[in-house]
Structure formats: structure tokens, C-alpha cells
Structure 1
Amino acid sequence: MTSAQPSAENEAVVSAGRLRGERTDGGLTVFRGVPYARAGRFTPPEPVEPWPDVRDATSDGPISPQPPSRLGAVMGPPRDGLVQADDCLNLTVVTPDTGGRRPVMVWIHGGAYVTGASSFGFYDGRRLTVEGDIVFVAINYRLGALGYLQLDGVSPGNLGLLDQLAALRWVKENIAAFGGDPDQVTVFGQSAGAHSLACLLAMPAARGLFRRAILQSPPLGLGLASPARAARIARYFTTALGRDPRSATVDEIVSAQTAAIVRASGPGGLGSPPFCPTAGAGPLSGLDRWPAALTVANVDVLIGFTRSEMNSFVNGKPETEWLTRLPFIGRRVFEAVKAIIGRRIFDSPSLKLADACAAAGRQVFTYRFDWAPPGSIFGACHCIELPFLLGDQKAWAAAPMLGDASWDGIDEFGHDLRRAWLSFACDGKPDGWRAHHPGAGIGKYWLGPVSAPAAVTEAA
């Protein structure tokens, strides 16, 4: 663990050298683009080479090469102008002070394993840092083919998960330099980020790296890719690429990756992400299904989902909305089918995981987020809880999923939700939540959503 002392309030000394961050008007210090590991293309991450001088950490680092997000029509456009490059293993740290030992919250972004970046404005953690007096960390990791291609002689697969492990090891070793407590680390993620976290819960290599886990809308029903499916996706990718992926440009990689995704997608593009964790590969050796082994020792778990997850993927899409006009289907049947799919992908597997963790003696809490904004076709959709936790008004100003909701109302209710997340990170219990009587198959604890007038209905 790093012990050298910084020479200024906006500096920190980590294992590879000294960093200089940026002091903000709100009294926080932000360190951006901090390298936590290095890796050549399709190779596992390795420790960073030390640097001799003070390293500037006031600008965001490169993000993993990626196509536009398919959820842009729901969340709004992400931040423009970020550099995309192979060398993307970096993170952001936000801290009130580099002294002390505060709880730490590490964010893993979602994006179907092909899009996303910790430096998107959606994922700014300053509200959590200020309100909870915690240290916030957000990581970038390899996505798409660069992170999840499994191809003999080229890529072993699951490199993105190895990146996340490397980031958590870096946090364990270095977070004290930012005023964080390495023994009080909570990892939280949403969508593919929560699915990643479920994978981390299953890895013996992750034991001791975090104490608590918050899984927001993990699509656990999609499971893990089988080796046969991974091999098929690799064939689609190499056929589209037409050259050695180790020497192709990043633009060629992303183009071939997109072609493979289109070829592999199901009706309406709703199939499982083609580039995703593969069972039995690398750090998932020995794991072939959920929820087997998803019980890292001494990890408290908070897991949940939104009321209408599938709305983000289906509502307003011409390629699926036409189904409502077919005889014997109509809107009512369409909505019922969406609900069934949502339960199979999100709801039921999340509660099953809660059961497995509770049976293993873990402290477990579950939730459902029901808030639906006025003037929105998306309702309580996938991603709807994110503005209540991360980002600011500017980042979410163009989010169609928020409809006509006022930011003041979102921020007010968000304060309660952030308090619950922060309380869980600090002492393992989500403060302010109402406990309900446990039901069959629901796990050790069932907790309703945070109370908010005219905002949330009680969980069923």
C-alpha cells in the first residue's frame, strides 16, 4: 500500500508515481485518466510502468473503441469528444480530501458490453461524494471484441473482466492515498456493469477486493455465453474483418464487431449481447451457469430492478411497435409479452441470486424501482434510476426517458435514493427503506423502493 505523502492538497502518490488532480469549486478533488493497468491488444492487463515526474490527472483518459449506444434514444446523447483507443485502462477518482479513511464506492458502467465510459456525464459521482463523504471511483475497461472476443491464438476471452479485476486490485492498493478505506469498498454497477459484478462475485480472484455489492438491473437471465456461441461470434467477426484482428485499426475492429452483432441479433435486435463474458474462460474457469458460486465470502448484496425494464429496448422502436397492429396481438398482448421477457431476464434471476446469497449467509436486500415520469413513453424503464444517483441536470437534460419530470423533483427524490445507497456502502444497511414481509423465493430480505410522494408505488 502506498505510504508516500503528497506535497499539495490536489496531489496523491500511488504505486506508479505522483498524480496531480483538479480542485473543484465544491471542495472536491478529481483525478481523471488515472492508469490502473496496461495491456497490449488481446493480452491480459499488467501493472503500469512507473512515471518519474508528477503526472497530470486533470483530463479524461481514452475510452474503449465503440459504436453509438442503442440507448441514446432513451438516456440522451453521451458526452462528445472523448478519445477512443486500445489504451483505455484508466479510471476517475473523486474525493473530498486525500486525508482520512472514507468508504469507497467503485462504479462499473453498463452498455451491453459494447458501449459506455466512466467519463460520460451520466456517471459523474460528485453528488454521492458530497452527500456521503465517500471516495468515488469509476473505471473504464475494454469492450466489444477488444474485451470479449474469444479466438484461439488471438484472444483468450473475458479480458474486460480481467480489466475490472485489475482496477479493483489497484483500488485495494492505492485508494488510501485518496482518503479511502481499502477495507470498506462497495462495487456498484448497472445493466452490463451489474452483470459484470455478478461475474466478479463468482471469481475466487475477487475475494477480499470489495466488501459490498450493489447490482442494478443485472440481465442475469442472459447468463454467460457458451464456448460454442463464443466461437460462432468469433467466426462472424473474423469473416467481417477479413484480416488479422491483432493488426487491424480500431475503426476496422468496431466495424467488424458491429457486423457480427447485426448478424447474431434476434428479432428486433433483442438477442443477447454477442460480445460478453464466456463461461469457463479465464477468470470464469469452472463456472457454467447462474447462480452457481455467486457468493464471494463476506460480501453484503443489494440487488434490484425497475418495474418495466424492457420498455427501454422496445418502446418507440418501429421494428417492434408494428407488432401491436397485428391481429390477435394488439397493445395489451404486446405489454404482457414485454413483462414476461423482463421477468425472465431481470426480475426472477435477480431474486434467485438474492436467494442464493441469503442461503450462503450473506446480508441481502432487494428492491424494485417503480417511478415513472409524466410525458414519457418509457415509464419505469431500464436505466431510469440512474439520474437519481449519478450525473447532474446538464448530463440528463436531453434524456427522453425523463419526459416532463422536473429536475428539482428528481434531485429531491434522488437524495433519498442516494442516502440508501450511501448507507449501504457505509454500514451494510440501506437507510430509509421500508422492510416488507419476506415471501417465498424472494430471498432473506425484501425491501420496497424509497418512499416519495407521487413518485413510487409500493413493491408488489
Structure 2
Amino acid sequence: MTTQQNIGTHTFHSSFGKILAIKENGILKAKSIRYAHSERFQKPVPEKPSDLEIIFPERTPVCPQNISPLLEKMIGKIDLDLFEVEESTQYLSIYRPENLDQNGKLPVVVWIHGGSYEIGCGDLSTADPTDWVKEQNIIVVTVSYRLGFFGFLGGSEKRPANLGLFDIIEALKWIKIYINDFGGDAENITLLGQSSGGDAIAHLMISDGVENLFQRVIIQSAPLGLRNHRQKMLTEFLEKTERFTADTDLLEIVENYKNFVPSFFKYGLKAAMPFGAQYGFPPLCNEEESMEKWKESARKYDVLIGLNDDETSFYIKASDSMNKYLNQGFGKKILNKAIRATTEIIYGKPAQTFAENYAEAGGNIYLFRIHSKLINNFFGAAHAFDLPLLFGNENAWKSSGLLKDVPWKYIHENGQRLRALWAEFARNGTLSESFEKPSMLELRKV
């Protein structure tokens, strides 16, 4: 438990401005710094440096979104009093060890959160990087960006596509310019993303305007199997929501866009992620050019990519009706087969294909898979199982359905080893054999 004397404040005197940070248990947290601002359906405009002291807001800014009952069940209840809804949600937070040694700048990891491009923000307690920063002596920057209807559905003059990607690019430009002032190494930046955050990072690798903004990427559980042949679905979604304009009441949009989401029967698994990066619109190439573009980027970025072994258990086993009929005998076999098949279609095979193509083009790439070795773990190594391993924070995860029957000791011990490995990759782009690997991790250089 945190004691009062361990909490204070610290002011960073950066070239962006004087930034007030929280000083807590050996970590400095400069929270919710605005890196850009935007009008609805318009590109972000970078925030200018200021002579005024920059003070973190009382409540965390978050893009307008609907609460997900599934996420609340599997990961934990959201305390709405901690968040402030804001359309222009271009904010980042910096987590840094309080004491820097004199040996130079720290490696920087930039966290791009997931949530199907529709929900979440950079600063959730379940992805608070304090434990990792403390253990591994790195800097972690968390990024919030526009989501869903406001950031990832477009394709017309009035509503450009990929605004959320443009937000992230602005955040990366800010980090590149200013992170030295916080003790970070602007020449050693690793992007880390999970789920749609990982998918966003894969697409940032082939985006225009990102030259020299990062050196490495860690892509966890990216649904790359849903990335192809989406434009017809997105065009239909866009047309059905044309009534929502730059002047429409915010609440009306948030409450009603769900009525127009694409049909699962028409578009299959892709309809499970109705928002996303759109090919053929800036800053991305056409879809048919994407694989070639990734091969071209093979000499630029070190890559660590992988998945959890039971990804879709997160969705399939969380369904009460599904479990009622299929969680015993022959039904259980059907359920497990469905999890295995959909995990490979959406995550496994695409990650392997990506890795093989990247390696063939001369890229430095590692492929990993996280298993659960516990007999009583109902969900197995499901989607998001990697998050408590990477971020720790027992308090934030204690009510999570995902970790039902999983002892925290198991998470903590494996997590410490995983955090050490991922930090090593962020430092130098390699993973040496001498590191003690978590028992649940399968890892190979491709």
C-alpha cells in the first residue's frame, strides 16, 4: 500500500514547457500531456510549446465510446468518475524512473492500447507500466488517440479515413522532439501494441510520414487475419452513418451508431471489428501493395510479434449461452475446436506468414506464443492474457474474470521474466539465449 510520504510532485523543465508530474514510489508520472488537438472529422494539429505550467487534468481524458460489458466482465469494471469524455483526445503520459544514472538516455517504449479500434484509452490501471519502468529502468509513454466513429471510419471528403493513425503519428513526432528532455533516447524508440494497438503498429510500419520516428516494434495479438478485403464493409458502414455530421450532437452519435454496424452474416468474422485502418487512403498504400511495403520496411525495424495460444477463448468462453450448452462432453470438444480454429485464422497463421515474409526480406524478427500451463485456468491463454504479465498491477487485475483461478504468484513470476525479455528487445533489438524465459513462452527467431 502506498504511504503518503512516498507521493509528491516534480516539474520537468522541457522545451515543450514546464510539465508538472506526480512523484510516487520511485517513479515520475507526467500524465495527460496534450500533444495535438483536432476538430471533429479533421486531421490533428500539433500542440505548440507553452510558457505556462502544464498541469495534468483531474480526470483522464477519453474518446467518446460505449462501455463494453464483455470487457467489464473479463478485465474489470470501469470507474467512470475517473474519466472525462473528450472528442479531441490527443494526450500522452510519460512514466520514468525518478533517479537516472549517469550512463546516458533510457530506451523508450510507446504503448498503443487495443480495444478493437473502438474502446479504451492510454491510461487504464490494467496497463499502468509502473512495475515495468521500475524493474527495467526504461521510459514508457502511453498514447491516447481518436477511436471508433471519430478516428477509424472514413473515406469521404467530409470524413477522412485513418484519423486515429494520424493522431498516433503526431504523438510519435512529439515524442521524437521532446523525449530527450525527460531522459529518453530519441534514437531508441520501440512501439508496443496489443490487439488493435498491435494492428495499428503493423500499419504504422508502412505509413507515410513516419521516417525515423521509431526503430523497433512489439506486436501482441494483432488480428491481422481481419485486415484484408474490408473496404466494401467499411464503405457500407460509412454510407449508413452519413446522417452523423460535424454538427451532430455527440451523445446522439455514441448512442446510435451501433444500429448501423456491419452484419456478421454478410461479412463474417471481419464484422467483429467494424472499425480499423483503411487501405487506399492516407497515410496508407493500397491493400495489394501492403505486403511489398512490409518487405521494404524489413531493413528499418526490428520486430517481435506473437499471440496467446487461446486468443478467442476470451470471446467464445465468455458467452454464458455458449457455455451452458457446450461446456461438457462432446460440446466441449466443439468449443475447443472453435477456439483453436478461430485463433489460428485471426491471429496465428497471419502472424506466422508476416514473420516468414519479413525474415525472407532480410528483417530481424522474432515470433512468440504464450501458453497457459495451468490445468484449472478456465480461459487458458486468452486474448489480453499477456497484459497482466507485461504490466503487473495485481490490484487492477484482482476482480478480472480472465484470471479466474489463476494464482497471482504465477502471473508475477512469469511476468517479471517477460518484462525483462521485452525490455532487452527494446534496448537493442535482440533476445539473447542467456535470459531466463517464462515457462509459458515459446519464442524463436525466424
Please, what TM-score do these two structures have when normalized by structure 2? 0.89
**d(CA) in 2 for partners of 1:130, 1:457:** 23
Maintained 8 Å contact 2:312/2:343: yes
Maintained 8 Å contact 1:419/1:431: no
Query: Does 2:135 correspond to 1:134?
Result: no
Q: Which residue of 2 aligns with 1:366?
A: 367
How many angstroms does 1:374 deviate by? 5.4
**d(CA) in 2 for partners of 1:58, 1:431:** 42
Q: Which residue of 1 aligns with 2:263?
A: 264
Q: Which residue of 1 aligns with 2:413?
A: 412
How many angstroms does 1:205 deviate by? 2.0
Which moves more between the two structures, 362-371 or 403-412? 403-412
Q: For 2:301, which of 294, 299, 308 is the aligned residue? A: 299
Q: Deviations over 1:410-450 (max 9, x none)?
A: 1121110000100100111234578xxxxxxxxxxxxxx93
Structure 1 counterpart SS, 2:37:
coil
Q: Deviations over 1:271-328 (max 9, x none)?
A: 34111111111111334475342243421000111111110011131454467399x9
Q: Which residue of 2 aligns with 1:76?
A: 76
Letter in 2 for 1:229: M
Aligned residues with identical type, % of pairs: 28
- Over 3 Å counting, the alpha-carbon distance change for 1:350 and 1:23 in structure 2 is same
How many angstroms does 1:93 deviate by? 0.3
The count of aligned residue pairs is: 429
**d(CA) in 2 for partners of 1:127, 1:255:** 37
**d(CA) in 2 for partners of 1:322, 1:178:** 53
Maintained 8 Å contact 2:23/2:98: no
- Over 3 Å counting, the alpha-carbon distance change for 1:264 and 1:104 in structure 2 is same
Q: Which residue of 2 aligns with 1:12?
A: 12
Which moves more between the two structures, 34-43 or 399-408? 399-408
How many angstroms does 1:376 deviate by? 3.8
**Which protein is richer in strand relative to its size?**
2
Alignment of 1:9-408 (within 5 A): 10-24=10-24, 26-57=25-56, 59=58, 61-69=60-68, 70-81=70-81, 82-97=83-98, 100-224=104-228, 226-238=230-242, 243-261=243-261, 263-266=262-265, 271-288=271-288, 291-295=291-295, 296=297, 297-318=299-320, 320-321=322-323, 324=326, 330-373=331-374, 375-408=376-409
How many angstroms does 1:267 deviate by? 9.5
- Over 3 Å counting, the alpha-carbon distance change for 1:433 and 1:363 in structure 2 is farther
**d(CA) in 1 for partners of 2:75, 2:265:** 23
Maintained 8 Å contact 1:38/1:47: yes
Maintained 8 Å contact 1:28/1:96: yes
Q: Deviations over 1:101-156 (max 9, x none)?
A: 10000000000010011111011011111111111100001000100121523211
Maintained 8 Å contact 1:304/1:368: yes
How many angstroms does 1:200 deviate by? 0.7
Query: Does 2:433 correspond to 1:451?
Result: no
How many angstroms does 1:258 deviate by? 2.0
**d(CA) in 2 for partners of 1:325, 1:93:** 44
**d(CA) in 1 for partners of 2:184, 2:9:** 15
**d(CA) in 1 for partners of 2:147, 2:61:** 13
- Over 3 Å counting, the alpha-carbon distance change for 1:75 and 1:325 in structure 2 is closer
**d(CA) in 2 for partners of 1:412, 1:325:** 30
The gaps in structure 1 that reach 5 residues or longer are 1-7, 435-448
Structure 2 counterpart SS, 1:33:
strand
**d(CA) in 2 for partners of 1:275, 1:346:** 17
Letter in 2 for 1:117: C
Q: Deviations over 1:20-77 (max 9, x none)?
A: 11111x2211001101111111111111134331111364541111111233222222
Which moves more between the two structures, 77-86 or 192-201? 77-86
Structure 2 counterpart SS, 1:10:
strand
**d(CA) in 2 for partners of 1:188, 1:319:** 35
Structure 1 counterpart SS, 2:150:
helix
Q: Which residue of 2 aligns with 1:446?
A: none
Letter in 1 for 2:238: A
Which moves more between the two structures, 225-234 or 210-219? 225-234
- Over 3 Å counting, the alpha-carbon distance change for 1:293 and 1:281 in structure 2 is same
Maintained 8 Å contact 2:114/2:198: yes
Maintained 8 Å contact 1:16/1:48: no
Maintained 8 Å contact 2:377/2:404: yes
**d(CA) in 2 for partners of 1:268, 1:381:** 24
**d(CA) in 2 for partners of 1:287, 1:179:** 39
**d(CA) in 2 for partners of 1:62, 1:186:** 24
Q: Deviations over 1:370-420 (max 9, x none)?
A: 025554421111111110111401110111111122223311211100001
**d(CA) in 1 for partners of 2:280, 2:15:** 32
Structure 2 counterpart SS, 1:62:
strand
**d(CA) in 1 for partners of 2:171, 2:229:** 23
Structure 1 counterpart SS, 2:241:
helix
- Over 3 Å counting, the alpha-carbon distance change for 1:196 and 1:225 in structure 2 is farther
- Over 3 Å counting, the alpha-carbon distance change for 1:282 and 1:450 in structure 2 is same
Q: Which residue of 2 aligns with 1:442?
A: none
How many angstroms does 1:236 deviate by? 2.9
**d(CA) in 2 for partners of 1:418, 1:144:** 30
RMSD over aligned Cα atoms: 2.7
Letter in 1 for 2:412: D
The gaps in structure 2 that reach 5 residues or longer are 1-7
How many angstroms does 1:458 deviate by? 5.7
**d(CA) in 2 for partners of 1:357, 1:322:** 43
Maintained 8 Å contact 2:11/2:18: yes
**d(CA) in 1 for partners of 2:59, 2:96:** 16
Please, what TM-score do these two structures have when normalized by structure 1? 0.86
Structure 2 counterpart SS, 1:174:
helix
